[in-house]
Amino acid sequence: MARPPIIRLVVSSLFSSRFRVALSHFLSAALLFLCASLPVLVRAQQQVTPASSTADRARILLVLPFDNRTGQPSLDWIREAAASLLSSRFVSAGFSPMSRVDRVYALNHLGLPENFQPSRASSLKLAQTLDADSIIVGSYSTDGKDIVAEARIIDVPDLRMGLPVTSRGDLHSLIDVFDGLAWQLTRQLDPHFSVAEDTFIAAGKGLRLDSFEQYIRGITEPDHAERLRHLNKAVSLSPDFAPAWMALGREDYNGQQYEAAAVAFAKVRGGSSDALEAGFYRGLSLLFSGSYAQAESAFHNVARELPLAEVLNNEGVAVSRQGHDGTDLFRKAVSADLGNPDYHFNLGVSLMHHGAAQEAIAEMTQCLKLRPNDSEAQDLLNVWKTPARAATAGSAGDARPDPLERIVRTFDEAAFRQAAIVMDQMEAMRLSALTPHDRAVRLAGQAQDYLNRGLILEAERLFQSAIEADGTLASAHLGLAQVRQRTGDLAGARTEAARVLQLDPGNKAAQDLIRQLESQAGSKP
């Protein structure tokens, strides 16, 4: 029997990313929500069409680097480029592709090099290691002018290989070629998927090929200086290319160039799937460079959406470094992860700073139960338990420095992503409990937000889902018309705009759009 999507994601991350206890409060919340809402959700789920099924969208994919059949080593970078482009489009289409980090981790675990080109058997082993549902394998070749990409889907549970799909085009239109391939694969994964191929192609139009090549070389080069050189070139060519800024921020952070890292992470805007993770690392970079107020703001922005223990703890540290009381945040971190001794340590220190001695002693005692060899905690506890010494602890008469709360310096990236996925699952369940009309209104609103940020693939997917829920919602058809206009499908845009006017004859936005479309059509040669 197939595991439910949430359970499968957690089981997968336990192995592939050492999923941490910090996520437990999300899972607990999800469980409480399910228990409280199960009767309503079951009834509502029966009304949801197969095309909008959350289970279909939760499929976990492993996209492997493509096989270079060009005979040209200079085109080896396309191996990783193929996996990166397909994974990006699958995320936008609502699937859950494994990250490159997870894939490299699994290869290392299996004792295989990062550039290993797996056979079908080893691909299956890798997918089973990561608990993936499907593997995407492929190759590319060129005649010097055109590039031809071919891919297949391997169904891991059934050990079945799908029919090959092929996409070809000019070598300089490589991104379009792989976007077209991604659309075909998505339709094979989900025959109900209704987003147009033009939308997939348009999703990559803003990305320069030379910048993308520099980005791929920047994440695959073994030398740190070379990675920095390529990534700096990538962002100079495409200043809005969020993945390159994310990778550059990591390189600067790992090189302890914290001010530069903070600048790079700040370039990863809210429309990016890396935005929350970038916000966390920006907060760390600001902490280490002494910009405590900015660090507090960065962690707070992340915690509003994903209040994981690491985020709350570091927000508390940023608050305390400014001389303010971070006790409440440290309490929340402890509640989110009772088994982490550092959170008990930080809460104890904060409590002692603010006069709650007995509670501070209890927290430091718990820290030592979890980590008996913590010498700093033991010394502090000895001081705090001696009244005469405790009275001068941290004062001018005591040579011992005032203890500082501990910063969580590393973060499990996969756990971070899995937490976001769990929250998406919960949101999907809340949507399924709404009436079809209310669900359509909510989806259309989310789609419009995506469209406003230029994420047209995500926008079309949600507009289509809104129309599936309630085909009479004029705003969903209007949004779809705007997507069609942006992708260059003027006839499709006019059809949707006309549908809006059938539903709402006085809709001024639709009337204006039709005039724009007529003007665009008239200006074409």
What confidence tens digit (pLDDT) does each residue in 268-316 have?
987 677 888 899 999 999 999 999 999 999 999 999 988 889 999 999 9
Using the predicted structure, report yes or no on whether residue 396 has a pLDDT greater than 50: no
* Whether domain 239-392 has CATH 1.25.40.10: yes
Query: What is the reported pLDDT for 457?
Result: 92
The encoded tokens of residue 32 equal 């409480």
* Whether domain 55-205 has CATH 3.10.20.30: no
Give the Cα separation of 492 and 495 in Å (integer): 5
Give the Cα separation of 171 and 142 in Å (integer): 8
Looking up tokens 């409990």 gives: 433
How buried is residue 493: exposed, middle or buried, by Cβ count under 10 Å (0-12/13-18/19+)? buried
The mean predicted confidence, pLDDT, of the chain is 84
Looking up tokens 């709360």 gives: 405
**Angle formed by the axes of helices 327-336 and 309-321, nearest 10°:** 160
Looking up tokens 């290319």 gives: 241
Query: What is the reported pLDDT for 46?
Result: 38
Using the predicted structure, report yes or no on whether residue 255 has a pLDDT greater than 70: yes
The CATH class that applies to domain 434-523 reads: mainly alpha
Average pLDDT over residues 226-234: 97
What is the reported pTM? 0.80
The encoded tokens of residue 92 equal 């936008």
Average pLDDT over residues 452-473: 93
Query: What is the reported pLDDT for 118?
Result: 67
Same fold, 55-205 and 239-392: no
Looking up tokens 């990166």 gives: 84
Residues in the chain: 525
Report the percent of the chain where pLDDT is more than 90. Answer: 62
Using the predicted structure, report yes or no on whether residue 52 has a pLDDT greater than 50: no
**Beta-strand pair 60-63/96-97:** parallel
Lowest-pLDDT range, 41-50, 191-200, 228-237, 393-402?
Answer: 41-50
Average pLDDT over residues 376-393: 78
Per-residue confidence at 353, pLDDT binned at 50, 70, 90? very high
Query: What is the reported pLDDT for 32?
Result: 40
Domain edges within the chain: 55-205, 239-392, 434-523
**Beta-strand pair 67-68/134-142:** parallel
Per-residue confidence at 156, pLDDT binned at 50, 70, 90? confident
How buried is residue 145: exposed, middle or buried, by Cβ count under 10 Å (0-12/13-18/19+)? exposed
Using the predicted structure, report yes or no on whether residue 123 has a pLDDT greater than 60: yes
The phi, psi pair for 136, rounded to 5°, reads -110, 120
Query: What is the reported pLDDT for 1?
Result: 32
Using the predicted structure, report yes or no on whether residue 35 has a pLDDT greater than 90: no
Give the Cα separation of 39 and 398 in Å (integer): 62
Is residue 301 within 8 Å of residue 279, measured between CB atoms?
Answer: yes
Query: What is the reported pLDDT for 521?
Result: 75
Give the Cα separation of 57 and 218 in Å (integer): 31
Helices (H), 204-340: 209-220, 224-237, 242-254, 258-266, 275-288, 292-303, 309-321, 327-336
